[in-house]
């Protein structure tokens, strides 16, 4: 049962990372981020047949992803620690956290706007620090201050992490979230022409993405409030063949 629950949790976190990537605050800015962290012009990225350009894009993207992953993992560990601190009130925390996730989901859909979540906070570098360390720092800045789009989704996963049994579980959960956000970024960097082609088609659906993302968070919130995740885990445990 515990294994099934962990798999569901990781899938939820990974999916949340993907939703963060395709959110209206992140997806349209991918070309800008790539040119900024790599120092390569837009035209060079489009015509990226040079192995040197591809290699430079790959490594800068990986270090950028490392930067925001470090922050997310630290936040996940902290959230789990706080959750364990209030372990005797676990049911109350889970339900309150679920209600907050539901509110964040409603905000993401755009049907009801929560004004305090509309305040956008970013750390920006006028000039990017040189080298791969600079890409790590930009990734840290991205993780530390990019709101409002990614903020509610990340906050929901952190609330979810606070219900984890131990710090390791919270860390793994945020690694899964970072992979959901980082892998599409890396693929976009390595296949920039393909990204531009699909983005031109996908751009018209960004509003729908916001609504679907919000509904996803509302569902997760309901699962937390009513403790349905454990019931789903029990069901999967019965359906899937036992190993070991």
Burial 3-42 (b: 16+ CB within 10 A, else e): ebbbebbbebbbbbbbbbbbbebbbeebbebbebbbebee
Q: What is the mean pLDDT of residues 85-105?
A: 70
Residue 222: the pLDDT is: 84
Specify the range with the lowest mean pLDDT, choosing from 53-62, 105-114, 213-222.
105-114
Residue 67: the pLDDT is: 92
Residue 243: the pLDDT is: 43
> 149 or 218: which carries more pLDDT confidence?
218
Residue 68: the pLDDT is: 92
Range of the domain at 70: 2-239
Residue 168: the pLDDT is: 84
> 89 or 181: which carries more pLDDT confidence?
181
SS3 172: helix
Give the residue among 226, 177, 169, 168 at the shortest CA–CA distance from 21. Answer: 177
Model confidence, pTM: 0.75
If phi > 0 it is left, if psi is from -120 to 50 it is alpha, else beta; for residue 119 that is: beta
Per DSSP, 240 falls in state: S
Specify if 219 maps to a domain.
yes
Specify if 96 maps to a domain.
yes
**Integer CA distances (angstroms), 61 to 26, 30, 124, 183, in order:** 15, 11, 17, 10
Residue 5: the pLDDT is: 60
Specify if 244 maps to a domain.
no
Q: Name the token pair of 166.
A: 């131990």
Specify if 36 maps to a domain.
yes
Reported as a pLDDT band with limits 50, 70 and 90, residue 231 is low
**Please, what is the average pLDDT of the chain?**
76
Q: What is the rounded CA–CA span in Å between residue 98 and residue 117? A: 17
- Please state, for a pLDDT cut of 70, what percent of the chain lies above it: 73
Q: Is 144:79 a contact under the CB 8 Å cutoff? A: no
If phi > 0 it is left, if psi is from -120 to 50 it is alpha, else beta; for residue 227 that is: left
Peptide bond into 205 cis (omega under 30): no
Tell me the pLDDT tens digit for each residue of 111-134. 776 665 555 455 455 556 568 888
Tell me the pLDDT tens digit for each residue of 19-63. 888 887 788 878 888 888 888 887 777 776 677 888 888 999 999
Q: What is the mean pLDDT of residues 204-210?
A: 78
Specify if 131 maps to a domain.
yes
Tell me the pLDDT tens digit for each residue of 167-185. 888 889 999 999 999 999 9
Q: Phi and psi at residue 123, in whole multiples of 5°? A: -100, 120
Domain count, the chain: 1
Residue 193: the pLDDT is: 76
Q: What is the rounded CA–CA span in Å between residue 130 and residue 81? A: 35
Residue 65: the pLDDT is: 94
């Amino acid at each position: 049962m515990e294994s099934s629950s962990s798999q569901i949790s990781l899938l939820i976190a990974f999916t949340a990372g993907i939703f963060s990537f395709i959110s209206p605050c992140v997806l349209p800015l991918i070309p800008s981020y790539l040119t900024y962290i790599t120092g390569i012009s837009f035209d060079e990225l489009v015509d990226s047949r040079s192995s040197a350009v591809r290699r430079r894009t790959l490594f800068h993207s990986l270090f950028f992803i490392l930067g925001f992953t470090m922050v997310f993992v630290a936040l996940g560990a902290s959230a789990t620690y706080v959750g364990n601190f209030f372990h005797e009130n676990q049911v109350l925390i889970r339900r309150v956290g679920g209600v907050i996730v539901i509110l964040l989901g409603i905000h993401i859909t755009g049907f009801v706007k929560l004004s305090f979540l509309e305040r956008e906070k970013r750390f920006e570098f006028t000039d990017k620090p040189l080298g791969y360390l600079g890409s790590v720092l930009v990734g840290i800045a991205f993780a530390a201050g990019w709101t409002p789009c990614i903020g509610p989704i990340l906050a929901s996963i952190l609330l979810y992490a606070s219900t984890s049994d131990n710090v390791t579980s919270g860390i793994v959960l945020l690694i899964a979230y970072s992979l959901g956000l980082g892998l599409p970024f890396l693929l976009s960097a390595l296949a920039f022409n393909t990204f531009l082609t699909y983005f031109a088609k996908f751009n018209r659906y960004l509003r729908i993405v916001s609504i679907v993302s919000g509904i996803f968070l509302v569902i997760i919130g309901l699962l937390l409030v009513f403790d349905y995740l454990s019931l789903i885990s029990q069901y999967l445990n019965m359906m899937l063949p036992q190993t070991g």
